[in-house]
Amino acid sequence: MTVVVAILVRWLALAALAGLIGGLALEVFVLPVDETDTVSARRRLRVWSLVCIGGLLLTSAAEVVLRARTMGGGGWAESVRVVPLVLSRTHFGVIWLGRIVALATLVVAVGRSGYRARVVALALAGTVAFSTALSGHAADWGDLTPSVLLDWSHVLAASLWIGGLVALAIVVFRAGVVARHGVVARNGVVARIGARFSRLAAWSLAAVIVTGAYNAWVQLPDVAALWNTPYGRILLAKLILVVALVALGAVNRYALLPRLTHTRARGVLARTVRLARLTFVGPVRGSPSTLIALVVGEAALGAAVLGLTAALGESTPARHAGHVAHVAELDGARESIHATIEQLHEAGGVPRGWRFRLPPGDAQRGGRVFARLQCYRCHRLRGEPYPAPSAAGPELTGIGGHHPASYIAESILDPNAVIVEGPGYTGRDGRSTMPAYREALSVGELLDLVAYLETQGGMHRHRP
């Protein structure tokens, strides 16, 4: 339930961000500067930007409550009460406050007219995008790492591309449609805007593909993870939609626009697309309304891509083997809570929203502990190189997706706390047949072991 809400909020946030960046980029890069035809389009774009900023403020508020909820683990009312703590005491809070300041400044910048104000607004929108990159998977390894910078480029380029499309479809071209019934000369403007946007979109797309490929390489252990893991499957669906989007864009650029601007794009690619279109679609009516219909179609696909992106953000990637160890670090890169003794006593002994959090471990070392203690004698762990179990015990494949770290730790420290039912799992005394490891494990080894088991598994959110 919380996950669904989180995905919806993230989707809205991504859409608002893309709309904002795309709309501002249209004004800065695409709308012909001296064109009087675009006055009404510019006026619409300003309203559009304000709506997007409103959306970002709303989703930011929702995000902080959601964050408080995962941290505090309580109900909604409790979460709202923890919000000040999250804002004042956590890393997320600092990023969040920075974003709110940027959004407030944006309202001022968008309210002013003139080209320079648009450029400033676009730069500010870029910092809002940066705050998004800072709270995504790429930031799992730190704040100013190449991963974060690449993810930032990815967010920027994708926002330019998809947000620009959406803004073009529902803001700028509405003016074009109206003009179609009246002044015929304005069709030229639609074509010209289309051509300029198409160039911008092509560059953005190239950046999206390069940065996206890097992201996929980091987040996926191998190609098979594309269909073996939930994260991979969502990514695959997203890729398919992106390919469809690119195909539509290619028809626009190489088949339709040249007719409207009465030029023919040259080159092998252009000819291939024209040929493919003739074969599969037949001749395209080269009217601005066809162009507009296609752009609307692209915009809808773009919105769906953003939805899948939001779902990816809420699921845990099956990491590249070399990165597995860092997953544990990430769980540990948590914010400290500060409190005085008096505050603690007053709050009932623990800070508000406190829960027992297991410190981070090193998953790679944990794998060696698992092997040394021969846990595989009773537990199957698919995908890992152990011999088949010879004694009774539940399979641990995917355990990270089912249980929080603290539960796994307890299972090892005290097998009898929760006894899983199964054939041979308990002895005649009714107690677990799993040995006690209190003498065999150091605290560090226990943490590493838990980190290792946490990385075994599908879709899970980071839990203490």
User: Applying CB under 6 A, which residues contact ligand HEC?
Assistant: 370, 373, 375, 377-379, 391-394, 399, 408, 411-412, 415, 418-420, 425, 432-435, 437, 449
Encoded tokens for 214: 């890097």
The least CB distance from residue 232 to ligand HEC, in Å, is 24
**In the complex, residue closest to ligand HEC by CB:** 375
Distances (CA, A) of 202 to 161, 197, 425: 8, 9, 60
The least CB distance from residue 396 to ligand HEC, in Å, is 6
Give residues with Cβ within 8 angstroms of 194, minimum separation 6.
Answer: 252, 256, 257, 260, 291, 295
Separate counts of helices (H) and strands (E) for the chain: 20, 0
Q: Which is nearer to ligand HEC, 4 or 418 (CB)?
A: 418
SS3 264: coil
Q: Which is nearer to ligand HEC, 22 or 400 (CB)?
A: 400
**CA atoms of 389 and 99, how far apart (whole Å):** 52
Q: Which is nearer to ligand HEC, 294 or 409 (CB)?
A: 409
Q: Which is nearer to ligand HEC, 102 or 434 (CB)?
A: 434
At what angle are helices 76-89 and 91-111 packed, to 10 degrees? 90
Tokens 């943490």 locate to: 447
Distances (CA, A) of 407 to 52, 212, 430, 451, 454: 42, 35, 21, 12, 10
Q: Which is nearer to ligand HEC, 188 or 359 (CB)?
A: 359
The least CB distance from residue 461 to ligand HEC, in Å, is 18
The least CB distance from residue 355 to ligand HEC, in Å, is 19
Give residues with Cβ within 8 angstroms of 403, minimum separation 6.
Answer: 411
List, in sequence order, every residue forming a beta bridge with 432; answer none if it has no partner.
426
Q: Which is nearer to ligand HEC, 139 or 449 (CB)?
A: 449
Encoded tokens for 123: 């730069």
Q: Which is nearer to ligand HEC, 229 or 411 (CB)?
A: 411
Q: Which is nearer to ligand HEC, 117 or 419 (CB)?
A: 419
One-letter amino acid of 290: T
Other beta carbons within 10 Å of 406: 15
The least CB distance from residue 381 to ligand HEC, in Å, is 10
Encoded tokens for 327: 């997953």
Encoded tokens for 180: 């179609």
The least CB distance from residue 140 to ligand HEC, in Å, is 24
Q: Which is nearer to ligand HEC, 172 or 412 (CB)?
A: 412
**CA atoms of 352 and 405, how far apart (whole Å):** 21
Q: What share of the chain is helix, strand, coil (3-state, %, to 5)?
A: 70, 0, 30
The least CB distance from residue 405 to ligand HEC, in Å, is 10
The least CB distance from residue 319 to ligand HEC, in Å, is 20
Give residues with Cβ within 8 angstroms of 208, minimum separation 6.
Answer: 154, 157, 158, 161, 242
Asked if 327 contacts 253 with a C-beta cutoff of 8 angstroms, the reply is no
The least CB distance from residue 229 to ligand HEC, in Å, is 19
**CA atoms of 381 and 452, how far apart (whole Å):** 11
The least CB distance from residue 129 to ligand HEC, in Å, is 40
Q: Which is nearer to ligand HEC, 229 or 432 (CB)?
A: 432
- Residue 174: which region, alpha, beta or left (left: phi > 0; alpha: psi -120 to 50)? alpha
The least CB distance from residue 333 to ligand HEC, in Å, is 24
Q: Which is nearer to ligand HEC, 170 or 419 (CB)?
A: 419
**CA atoms of 177 and 190, how far apart (whole Å):** 9
The least CB distance from residue 71 to ligand HEC, in Å, is 25
Q: Which is nearer to ligand HEC, 73 or 398 (CB)?
A: 398
